[in-house]
Amino acid sequence: MSRYENTSMKRKLLRNNTKHKGGKVAMVYDTTIYSKVPERNDDLYVISTEGDRCDNLAFQFYGDSRFWWYIAQANNINSMNIPAGISLRIPASTEYAVGR
């Protein structure tokens, strides 16, 4: 499933810096809103080790590294890299990995 599967697109006028006439039109993604990832009894908790990254953990637990952002969102992480010694919640399922 694509992270942007339910995200709408809109047309955006790309303007030339020197002229405001006749710019090109591009399709861009609109803002995607994701629900909070609710805690469940079957969520896993792991302690990060040196070199851990969200994409590697997503591949390990979900079989798909594209869910890196889901682990990051569940743990309020702003980076792909994770410092060693951090307690991380790995949501039991990706059912809430859907934007609106």
CA atoms within a 13 Å half-sphere pointing along the CA-CB vector of 72: 18
- The model's pTM is 0.70
What is the set of domains in the chain, with CATH numbers?
A: 44-90 (3.10.350.10)
Q: Fill in the DSSP letter of residue 27.
A: E
Q: For 40-92, what is each residue's pLDDT tens digit? A: 999 999 999 999 999 999 999 999 999 998 999 999 998 889 999 999 999 99
Q: For 65-76, what is each residue's pLDDT tens digit? A: 999 989 999 999
**Longest C-alpha distance within the chain, in Å?**
58
Q: How is residue 96 written in tokens?
A: 């809430």
Give strand pairing partners of 90. Answer: 44
